[in-house]
Amino acid sequence: MVCERINSIKQTLPEGVRLVAVSKYHPASMIQEAYDGGQRIFGESHVQELVQKYEALPKDIEWHFIGHLQTNKVKYIAPFVSLIHAVDSEHLLKEIDKQAKRQGRTISVLLEVHIAQEETKYGWLPDELLAFMESGIWQQYENVSIEGLMCMATNTDDEGIIANEFERARELFETIKGLSYMVNAQWRERSWGMSHDYLIAVRHGSTMVRIGSSIFGERVYA
């Protein structure tokens, strides 16, 4: 069931767009099922849950942390996380760099841009993010690789609003790409699109979609 859903989603993804199977709140057995069908990238948004699943499941899984990450919890995932999607402050970036250095590794990250209308969502305002990248300050963090942007669109049925937000994120991505500091950077990922809006996201530049409920079913929050 899980594998069939993954396969049918994959058929709708253009070449080069990767699928992050968002497994939060779902048991390790379902992840194993998807793994057995060939899926290797999984997304989680709670540190403790991710650590438990990492310990229980095959070691060649690429674990992506997609939720809001608290600075004091970075150390628990630093040994193994493949990509942290939602870096929303320099403070967090600095801590990831520090913990990566302690592990003797480089951690890949994306910066979360706040583009949706909701006030409650995390992320840099577009202007702040651009100013931070223009400043070049981030170059001192040698154990993080800043590889692109992540965003969430407004939760609405209005496809025009969603498309517009993804397009703004893409424009910001391109503007940053053009900065002189970016010549040697690995700036290439655009993480946008969830179960309900990923088809819009791939039309507006997504390179990575984060899909949970369309694969694993509705989440049951304990």
Ligand X SMILES: *Cc1c(COP(=O)(O)O)cnc(C)c1O
Residues that bind ligand X (CB under 6 A): 22, 24, 45, 66-67, 152, 194-196, 210-214
The amino acid at residue 47 is V
Q: Nearer Cβ to ligand X, position 144 or 215?
A: 215
Shortest-Cβ-distance residue relative to ligand X: 212
Q: How far apart are CA 9 and CA 64, in angstroms?
A: 19
Q: How far is the CB of 20 from ligand X (least distance, A)?
A: 8
Q: How far apart are CA 207 and CA 40, in angstroms?
A: 16
Q: Nearer Cβ to ligand X, position 141 or 192?
A: 192
Q: How far is the CB of 95 from ligand X (least distance, A)?
A: 20
Q: Nearer Cβ to ligand X, position 117 or 135?
A: 117
79 Cβ contact list (under 8 Å, min separation 6): 103
SS3 string, 14-71, reads: CCCCEEEEECCCCCHHHHHHHHHCCCCEEEECCHHHHHHHHHHCCCCCEEEECCCCCH
Q: How far is the CB of 147 from ligand X (least distance, A)?
A: 17
Q: How far is the CB of 85 from ligand X (least distance, A)?
A: 7
Q: Nearer Cβ to ligand X, position 30 or 179?
A: 30
